[in-house]
Structure 1
Amino acid sequence: MNILALDTATDACSAALLHNGQPYEVFELAPRRHTHLILQQIEQSLAAASLNLQDIDALAFGQGPGAFTGLRIAAGVVQGLALAIDKPVIAVSTLAAMALQAIDQQQATTVYVGLDARMSEVYWGVYQAASAPISIQATTHHLPTVKTLCVDCVIKPDSVPLPQQQTGQPTDNKHPASGCWAIGSAWQAYPDALTQRLQAQSIELPNTQILPDFYPSAAYIARLAWVKALTQPQESLLDAAQAQPIYLRNKVAQTIAERQQQAAR
């Protein structure tokens, strides 16, 4: 299955083609330059795999949460391409894709993903390493994926939900600290509040397992999209018009009065 994936949810901009399970990705940190780069990146990823748009079976995009403008760029480009080549779209959580990347690259078992949402809030989700049994040519393969422990939300950093609040059992008893990682820009914007929140639930993370400079990757958007397409085709394969971002909130910025009120606290 050939999947073309895009992500423009943060300062990073990337496109990736997943061809026979192999990702061909073009990635760049490019704040406010996504519209200038994304089409070029698509062409480069296709060329790297020696394919063209007509060879694509599905398109995927990071649907958020993330920057409002960035999410609209990815959704708009994917919608246009999907209509042009009459192919389905797969929407993937930005935070889930980041978690899968940490699981793959850092051998993480539990990942606390946080992005700076501005306005003294974070986009937050907690994920666990998992595998999805897939039958390919009469052979069962176990593809890496993620299990959601805390659903993506926008919230104050000192109030982020943690898995044991849902299960009643401490996460660190099942997943030792060596397998727990914290990633994303929220860990640079609000390190003390987030660390204290985890410590209050007896979750201790060494500094070496906190990676604030960690960005979404279209390659992992594509990998999760592949798993979704194989395991939940009816739910995950969308028409172009259904490819919508998930913002998690409706406000882009605070009013002057709100900023003054917050500063006075």
Structure 2
Amino acid sequence: MPVSTLAGLAQGCYRRLQSARVAVALDARMQEVYWGAYQVDANAVMRLAGEERCCAPAEVNLEESGWCACGSGWDAYSSDLKAACNGLLEQFDEEPHCHAQDIATLAVTLLREDGGVPAEQAMPVYLRNQVAHVKA
């Protein structure tokens, strides 16, 4: 089952802090973050609200209040991310790691809903294809 690291972090934040809305930002280097906003469903599973993406910290967006911030991007780009979120954050999760139990929770849900994919079709998904800075 393909499970996003961003989703795993959001699920862990919900497990630890009962945060129904989690804004995950991971430091993607090169002045960017891997970004995803998640909301908990009726079955206590975090669901993506919008899309995961790689962007500049100033380009993230949230529309409503009540979000918990999670991930290494909040340490690396704190002022830019907080400014972009415009006062909509209520809590910060200090846990920097994704845990296997949270990935498993999401994987079981996806397996029940979608039936999974054959092993030979399981491929990583990269939010950014360019992984090195090229000098002009």
TM-score by length of 2: 0.92
What is the correspondence of 1:85-234 to structure 2 with a 5 Å cutoff?
Answer: 90-132=1-43, 144-162=44-62, 164=63, 171-172=64-65, 177=66, 180-199=67-86, 202-205=87-90, 209-211=91-93, 213-233=95-115
User: Judging changes above 3 Å, is the alpha-carbon distance between structure 1 residues 94 and 204 closer, same or farther for their aligned structure 2 residues?
Assistant: closer
| CA distance in 1 between partners of 2:121 and 2:2 (Å) | 9
Which digits, 9 at most, give the CA deviation of each residue in 1:132-176, with x for residues without a partner?
4xxxxxxxxxxx2112113110000000132x2xxxxxx12xxxx
Work out whether residues 113 and 183 of structure 1, in 8 Å CA contact, stay in contact via their aligned partners in 2: yes
What's the secondary structure of 1:117's corresponding residue?
strand
Greater fraction of residues in helix = 1
AA aligned to 2:129 is: N
Corresponding residue SS for 1:252 = coil
| % identical aligned pairs | 35
Match of 2:132 among 230, 249, 253: 253
Partner-residue secondary structure (3-state), 2:105: helix
Unaligned 5+ segments in structure 2 are: none
Q: CA RMSD in A?
A: 1.5
Q: Determine which structure has greater relative contact order: mean sequence separation of CA pairs < 8 Å that are 6+ residues apart, divided by chain length.
A: 2
Q: How does 1:3-82 map to 2 (within 5 A)?
A: none
Separation in structure 1 between the aligned mates of residue 105 and residue 13 of structure 2, nearest angstrom: 13
Letter in 1 for 2:36: G
Q: Note the residue ranges of structure 1 that are not aligned, 5 or more in a row.
A: 1-89, 133-143, 165-170, 258-265
> Quick one: distance in 2 between partners of 1:160 and 1:230?
31
Give the 4+ runs in structure 1 shifted more than 6 A: none
Is the contact made by 1:121 and 1:155 (CA closer than 8 Å) also made in structure 2? yes
When residues 212 and 119 of structure 1 are mapped into structure 2, their CA distance, relative to the original with a 3 A threshold, is farther
Query: Distance between the aligned counterparts of 1:106 and 1:230, measured in 2?
Result: 26
Aligned mate of 2:119, from 230, 235, 240 = 240
SS of residue matched to 1:224: helix
Q: Counterparts of 2:69 and 2:20 in 1: how far apart (Å)?
A: 11
TM-score by length of structure 1 reads 0.49
May I ask how many residue pairs the two structures share in their alignment?
A: 136
Which one has the largest radius of gyration? Answer: 1
**Greater share of strand:** 1
Partner Cα distance (1:248, 1:186) in 2: 15
> Match of 1:84?
none
Map Cα deviations across residues 189-219 of structure 1 (whole Å, 9 max, x no partner).
10000000111xx4143xxx22354211121
CA distance in 2, matches of 1:192, 1:158: 9
**1:32-56: CA deviation from partner (whole Å, max 9, x where unpaired):** xxxxxxxxxxxxxxxxxxxxxxxxx
